[in-house]
Amino acid sequence: MSWQGVPAVELHEVTRYHGARDTGVAALAGVSLSCPPGTWTAVMGPSGSGKSTLLHCAAGLDRVTSGRVLLAGRDITAAPDSVLTALRRRTVGFVFQSFNLIASLTAEQNVAFPSKLAGVRVSRSDVRQSLAGVGLADRARHKPRELSGGQQQRVAIARAMISRPAVLFADEPTGALDSHSAKVVLELLRTMVRTAGQTIVMVTHDPAVAASADTVVFLADGRIVDRVGSPTVHEVAERLAKLEG
């Protein structure tokens, strides 16, 4: 695909103010970040440090005050809403802590639903393939209440991946899971990075989760203040503790 080779996500000197620039809060105060394709980046930092804002600005869910944001090589900083809407359907996928599945729909209906809503045709075999990709081929007809938390999150990942997004954005993807289910989900994400070259940007509070990523960036007061490659849990916990002081 044409976006391969260029960074999947690029932020250049991004600021995001809430309220007036001189009196408001700088949720991001000059963040530059580049995530090459096929890499997994974790974003950590104390509460209020700007993690969610970074994720939202990088995914085109929120507008930056200044600086530039590129997704799959495309400058989206000033893109009209219609372009951002299309981008959310095709270029990016989202996974949240709370799964956000529709209780009355089966796993396969949940996977197909956002595409249908967007008027994008997905075949039953695409849906089945997507569920098979997360190890749930045999759960296609099950409703969320008939699935474990980890299985529900895997359905949510299948739903996010069906459009083959350039970037999967994950906000605390294992936050609601027990440690075994969390491990299964993290292994699945790792397999997607390793075998399919998926790019992932993930916010987490948990050092053990962040240590699954290739790189951890640490935010404090809206700035990237630290960065660790090939992280260990211990290293991540130590650096986070310093920031949370």
Give yes or no for a contact between 63 and 81, defined as CB atoms under 8 angstroms apart.
no
| Helix H or strand E encompassing 162 | none
Smallest gap from residue 218 Cβ to ligand ATP (A): 11
Smallest gap from residue 45 Cβ to ligand ATP (A): 5
Smallest gap from residue 149 Cβ to ligand ATP (A): 21
Phi and psi torsions of 56, nearest 5°: -65, -40
* List 48, 67, 73, 175, residue binding ligand ATP (CB under 6 A): 48
Q: Does 102 bind ligand ATP (CB under 6 A)?
A: no
Contacts of 221 (CB under 8 A, 6+ apart): 26, 29, 49, 50
Smallest gap from residue 144 Cβ to ligand ATP (A): 25
64, 95, 134, 135, 236 from 104: Cα distances, Å? 37, 19, 21, 22, 40
Q: Does 50 bind ligand ATP (CB under 6 A)?
A: yes
Smallest gap from residue 106 Cβ to ligand ATP (A): 32
Among residue numbers 6 through 45, which ones bind ligand ATP (CB under 6 A)?
18, 25, 27, 45
- Alpha carbons 186 and 207: distance in angstroms, whole number: 13
If binding means CB under 6 A, how many residues of this protein chain bind ligand ATP?
11
Among residue numbers 198 through 227, which ones bind ligand ATP (CB under 6 A)?
none
Contact letters for ligand ATP, residues 54-93 (x by CB under 6 A): ----------------------------------------
DSSP state, 18?
A: E
Phi and psi torsions of 186, nearest 5°: -65, -40
Q: Among the residues of 94-232, which ranges form H helices?
A: 107-117, 124-133, 149-161, 179-196, 207-210
Query: 51 or 88: whose CB is closer to ligand ATP?
Result: 51
Which residues of this chain interact with ligand ATP, rule CB under 6 A? Answer: 18, 25, 27, 45, 47-53
